[in-house]
């Protein structure tokens, strides 16, 4: 049993989908495991026995291989990396205020979390198997079968990303064994890319000359024009995350004392970009001032920011937006971004604070 923070939202219990309140993510480099969001597609979570678990590496490789957990540990060096995972559905609730993407989960900003992941580099395993000429993509297959797909969860990343040093086959999360709920015994961690590519309960790595035809790559997790509908191959497969930020503390709707109020948040650039600036506004973007950025725990992790606002008594809407190292910035309005599956809401963050004048005077 885990002890989730008070205020955790359980969006569904089968499949289990849950996110912590935004304040549980504030001011911490690493998200405690109990506060880490859960995003699942299958009603039943696979329970894999680490003693009998094996990883198959096949497809366009010169030496197809099967590795037990012990073999992975013995054959390859362990590496660790602090990485933020963010679901493509993070902040979907903001898109739902524009129009309802039917049947989708109304995620807030809590479908984001950062952990120290440790395991082996996927690149080392692929090198051992020998990638055959002509290969372009690497698919990951998990052990879970989602009702909507009727096939094991499978997605892929381009070979170039699969061979990058930062992509891990992880067995540990925040210096403890990877919990079953987060994919034990081994999950993929693909830094900078939508969480959907970080396959849990990994059973198979398949090198191919095309992207995965699995449901969660060919139909779901694709960006569609507003007037289109999901079908195999429609729209574009989402990959690197778009620059995004949110206010994490105080909570949306919080009552605070009038006067100086410390406001903090997170920002994530995605891909191999970094967050270079966060702006905060109290007049809905007419004027901005720069927040202070905290140091990043790693180049693959979120960047926390903070500022102090002098709030008059009454209601203020605090708006924030991040810029990335490619001069990308968050768009103002969720209506510009609306898409039928409700992905990648990276419009300006907005929270409402109610400042109350102290009663003493």
- Which spans of this chain sit near ligand MTE (rule: CB under 6 A)? 36-41, 85, 87, 142, 144, 153, 182, 195-196, 198-201
Beta bridge pairs of residue 81: 117
Beta bridge pairs of residue 114: 84
Question: Which DSSP symbol is given to 197?
Answer: G
Question: Looking at beta carbons only, is 40 or 316 nearer to ligand MTE?
Answer: 40
Question: Looking at beta carbons only, is 217 or 307 nearer to ligand MTE?
Answer: 217
Nearest distance from residue 38's CB to ligand MTE, in Å? 4
Question: Looking at beta carbons only, is 116 or 182 nearer to ligand MTE?
Answer: 182
Question: Looking at beta carbons only, is 121 or 200 nearer to ligand MTE?
Answer: 200
Nearest distance from residue 351's CB to ligand MTE, in Å? 23
Nearest distance from residue 172's CB to ligand MTE, in Å? 13
Beta bridge pairs of residue 222: 237
Question: Looking at beta carbons only, is 15 or 250 nearer to ligand MTE?
Answer: 15
C-alpha–C-alpha distance, residues 346 and 241, integer Å: 10
Prior bond of 250 cis (ω within 30°): yes
Question: Looking at beta carbons only, is 8 or 316 nearer to ligand MTE?
Answer: 8
How many CB atoms lie under 10 A from the CB of residue 312? 11
Nearest distance from residue 198's CB to ligand MTE, in Å? 5
- Torsion over CA of 243, 293, 277 and 333, rounded to 10 degrees? 50
Angle (CA) 327 195 99, round 5°: 75
C-alpha–C-alpha distance, residues 133 and 150, integer Å: 32
Question: Looking at beta carbons only, is 268 or 311 nearer to ligand MTE?
Answer: 268
Nearest distance from residue 106's CB to ligand MTE, in Å? 15
**With contact defined as beta carbons under 8 Å apart, do 278 and 245 qualify?**
yes
Nearest distance from residue 136's CB to ligand MTE, in Å? 22
Contacts of 70 (CB under 8 A, 6+ apart): none
**With contact defined as beta carbons under 8 Å apart, do 154 and 216 qualify?**
yes
Helix (H) or strand (E) holding 114: strand 112-121
Nearest distance from residue 174's CB to ligand MTE, in Å? 12
Q: Which two tokens stand for residue 41?
A: 């597609």
């Amino acid at each position: 049993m885990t002890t989730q923070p008070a205020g955790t939202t359980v969006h569904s219990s089968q499949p289990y989908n849950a996110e912590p309140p935004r304040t549980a993510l504030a001011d911490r480099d690493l998200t405690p495991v109990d506060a880490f969001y859960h995003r699942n597609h299958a009603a039943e979570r696979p329970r894999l026995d680490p003693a009998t678990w094996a990883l198959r590496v096949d497809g366009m490789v010169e030496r197809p291989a099967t590795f037990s957990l012990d073999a992975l540990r013995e054959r390859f060096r362990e590496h660790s990396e602090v990485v933020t995972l963010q679901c493509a559905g993070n902040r979907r609730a903001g898109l739902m205020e524009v129009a309802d993407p039917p049947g989708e989960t109304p995620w807030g900003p809590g479908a984001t979390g950062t952990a120290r992941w440790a395991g082996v580099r996927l690149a080392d395993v692929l090198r051992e198997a020998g990638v055959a000429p002509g290969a372009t993509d690497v698919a990951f297959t998990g052990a879970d079968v989602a009702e909507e797909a009727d096939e094991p969860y499978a997605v892929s990343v381009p070979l170039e990303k699969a061979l990058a040093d930062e992509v891990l086959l992880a067995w540990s999360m925040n210096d403890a064994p990877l919990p079953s709920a987060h994919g034990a015994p081994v999950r993929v961690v693909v830094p900078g890319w939508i969480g959907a590519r970080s396959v849990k309960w990994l059973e198979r790595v398949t090198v191919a000359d095309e992207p995965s035809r699995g449901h969660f790559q060919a139909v779901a997790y694709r960006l569609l024009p507003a007037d289109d509908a999901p079908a195999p191959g429609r729209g574009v497969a989402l990959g690197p995350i778009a620059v995004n930020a949110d206010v994490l503390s105080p909570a949306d709707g919080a009552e605070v004392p009038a006067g100086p109020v410390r406001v903090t948040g997170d920002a994530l650039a995605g891909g191999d970009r970094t967050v270079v600036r966060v702006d905060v506004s109290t007049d809905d973007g007419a004027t901005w001032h720069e927040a202070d950025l905290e140091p990043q725990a790693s180049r693959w992790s979120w960047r926390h920011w903070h500022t102090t606002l002098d709030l008059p008594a009454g209601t203020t809407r605090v708006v924030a937006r991040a810029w990335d190292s490619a001069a990308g910035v968050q768009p103002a309005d969720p209506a510009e971004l609306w898409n039928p599956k409700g992905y990648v809401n990276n419009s300006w963050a907005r929270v409402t604070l109610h400042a109350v004048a102290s009663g003493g005077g």
